[in-house]
A and B are shown apart, each in its own frame.
Chain A
């Protein structure tokens, strides 16, 4: 985020309370210092009479920056569209290493070594080696760091869908991430270098289109993350749901009502809802395509959750908060479960593998959480 925009945001937020009611972390800690107004006030005051520039204060501030879960609710509910979450990431970047919380220091060290949040990152399984690194395919399926390392079933499902629709596709042979991990750790230069390298590899394969499985990657590659320049990407980029909806509409992919929609032919159809993730929902406002895709499955009953779209609580998947503060991340997901449970839905689809993991992690027995690729795979005719 550039300096002028950062300072404008801080000046606007420091006495403004208008998005606090939606601040995910503020609504858990209840501490004013964890809210957009609190953040901006201390950034504006530090070094003056109101807030001494001490190591103790700097450490508490860094703890707060690394405690913001980057959910986007403040920006989405901002009365004037100020990008407060990006200001938080800038504050992370500007925090002195010596003041960082221990977990942030440890994560930075891992990211500095591997570029990802994993000590030993893995490459995607599922696809045959022949499918990797193929030039000129219609689609380059960008798997994403989390899916590769923690939930390869999502990648397998997406590949099945592409194969069934007869789409020529490829994967990067050595995906490394588009820079989100270093970006979230305040390592902006590392993030930009990583993104540029990944874009170069993608460009070299000349795909017709890049399709992402995580809205985090979509946001970065679409140039939506302030401070990360993706303008070098030559192919258009889209999310899995929007791409698959196009296949369905074009008649390239037929869906059926079997699978998750009903356990037996006579049972009532399962009630399916959609969870808007932080990056796909609040930031990209990608609300319609995934819903249309879910509703295009024959015979399913779709229920719009009351707490949906911009008002859906976060599942705690963003901002690396799962790793920085698992207890907080779990409390965040628990709140979202509270908005879903008891509403009669038995399946909730989402576009974010990280959000799915967060929600699954709450162990709710009545609701099954799936990535949208997994849901579609179950309904391939």
Chain B
């Protein structure tokens, strides 16, 4: 089992022999810069001037061989290794609670191959999403995984968390883009999955690494599906008298195979606040839900799709609000998450996204909204949601809580934060949902993984981890893989309540 790591000059020198002295950073200043992602707890902790857990060594490998060299040293001395993609995760996936090595993968950022016949791209996984997209756009191509964090997330990070983007309803989630991966196990073994995902040649091993959160392996390369930039992108907006009418409209569009690329349905709370604030669209009706539909491809096909959508909307008493609101949403789609509209300290906030079958969604949403608004009323909690990733069988709810004046004592604030999460995840699981749809588990939801599976299944997951990482060096404490070793200053216990 891993040991709580501490800085050791001899070990630093050995790391420097592997990657070069400039690529091992050990100053306190450098280590602080890797002490948080966007998980609320470490950010609150830092904001309250408290010391966050820090890695002992920041190491920046530039090749597979260097990663293998680092892992060999870490395995030998049982030193934890945390992969860092872009540090944009919201779940504390990169928090180095046990110290050790922070392996910054941003140098692994090459585009290895663009296949313009099969429309695939092979990249090193440290590449930034926006920079990859720009390079593809130069050739008239696109990787239509458009998350709000494209500017800061790496392809490896999106693979690790099974991320999702704005047009996932048409193009799929991260796991749908991945054809194959190359990954390095803690033992140094280099895994190369089948070149294509659709085969009958044994299990689809790439799935073991898509969603692994750096706990099983370090994903170093991926081949991804790409597309030609579409001839047209068209967005329209609609207003429904109730949330349920909007949910039904989205369900019908998916069931009838209309082929939408985006569907964003705002609950009445978000319609009043977020849609009003960011898009400047004021809605008087307190029960109404605003929807944006996106279509892309050939214009002639879009004309037909638009007609089908309008028919569905009219049948549910929805109102067509025109294209302007839709286009404005597309242009400003990320503004919701950026200053000054993003949620920020000193507020307490959390995004609790989950996904379930259509038959369960309205119930899950209502149950959670009621429970949080009732039980945390004294804290002035607000609960808002939108529904943004739609499947044939169900839909994802991107629901968020906000407390504008949380307790000033950080210990009390964290306790309250974790109580809210405990209730939220329990309600998701009780109503047919999962612990998370696209932000991953990380540290934040680690304690719930065992509840998301039955006992034997969770044991099986742990067995897999033990086989691939017998010393437990990779990303300890994440994805339900809690080690026995004590965390830095006992923060694991406090932060994951």
Chain A contact residues, CB within 8 Å of chain B: 12, 15-21, 30-33, 35, 37-38, 41-42, 44-45, 48-52, 54, 56-57, 60-61, 64, 77, 79-80, 82, 306-307, 311
Q: Are B51 and A38 in contact (CB under 8 A)?
A: no
Whether B387 sits at the interface, judged by CB under 8 Å, is no
Interface string of B324-349 (1 = CB under 8 A from A): 00000000001100111000110000
Can you give 29 contacting A-B residue pairs, CB < 8 Å?
A: A12-B339, A15-B38, A16-B338, A17-B86, A17-B88, A17-B149, A17-B152, A18-B152, A19-B151, A20-B86, A21-B128, A31-B30, A31-B58, A32-B34, A33-B27, A35-B33, A37-B33, A42-B29, A44-B46, A45-B49, A48-B49, A49-B50, A50-B32, A50-B35, A57-B27, A60-B27, A77-B151, A80-B340, A306-B137
Check B211 for interface membership: any CB of A closer than 8 A.
no
A60/B30 contact (C-beta < 8 A), A17-B86, A311-B134 known: yes
Q: How many A-B residue pairs have CB under 8 A?
A: 104
B28 within 8 A of A: yes
- Which of the residues B25, B36, B46, B52 comes within 8 Å of A31, measured between beta carbons? B25
B131 at the interface (CB under 8 A from A): yes
Report the bound CA distance from A46 to B345 in whole Å.
19
Most A Cβ at <10 Å: residue of B52, B87, B339: B339
A42 is contacted by which of B32, B131, B334 (Cβ under 8 Å)?
B32
CB neighbours (8 Å) of B88 from chain A are 17
B contacts, CB < 8 Å to A: 25, 27-30, 32-36, 38, 43, 46, 49-52, 58, 60, 86-88, 104, 106-107, 128, 130-131, 134, 137-138, 149, 151-152, 334-335, 338-340, 344-345
Whether the Cβ atoms of B32 and A20 lie closer than 8 Å is no
Q: Is the CB of B28 within 8 A of A51?
A: yes
Alpha-carbon separation in the docked complex, A44 to B267 (Å): 37
CB atoms of A41 and B33 under 8 A apart: yes
Asked whether, in the complex, the Cβ of B33 is within 8 Å of the Cβ of A20, the reply is: no
Q: Which residues of A contact B86 (CB under 8 A)?
A: 17, 20
A32 to B339, CA, bound (A): 20
Q: Which residues of the partner chain B approach A307 to less than 8 Å between Cβ atoms?
A: 134
- A57 near B36 with CB under 8 A, answer no
Contacts of B338 in A (CB 8 A): 16, 18, 79-80
Compute how far the CA of A16 lies from the CA of B342 in the bound complex, rounded to whole angstroms: 10
Chain A residues with CB under 8 A of B138: 306
Partner of A30, one of B107, B134, B137: B107
**Cβ A21 vs Cβ B51 within 8 A:** no
By a CB distance below 8 angstroms, the chain B residues around A35 are 33
A286 CA / B43 CA spacing, docked (Å):
38
A64 to B46, CA, bound (A): 21
Known: A31-B104, A32-B30. 8 other contacts (CB 8 A): A17-B152, A30-B60, A31-B58, A32-B58, A45-B49, A48-B49, A52-B28, A306-B137
Contacting pair B87 A32 (CB below 8 A) = yes
Q: Which 9 A-B pairs have the closest CB atoms?
A: A48-B49, A17-B152, A32-B33, A79-B338, A38-B33, A49-B51, A33-B33, A60-B29, A80-B339
Once bound together, how far apart are the Cα atoms of A185 and B49, in whole Å? 30
Tell which of A42, A50, A56 touches B49, judged by Cβ atoms closer than 8 Å.
A50
Q: Within the complex, which residue of B49, B104, B149, B334 is in contact with A32, where a contact is CB–CB below 8 Å?
A: B104
CB neighbours of B43 from chain A (8 A)? 15
| Contact yes or no, B32 A45, CB < 8 A | yes
Among residues of A, the one whose C-beta sits closest to the C-beta of B43 is A15
Which of B33, B58, B106, B344 has the most A CB atoms < 10 Å from its CB? B33
The one of B46, B130, B152 in contact with A50, judged by C-beta atoms closer than 8 angstroms, is B46
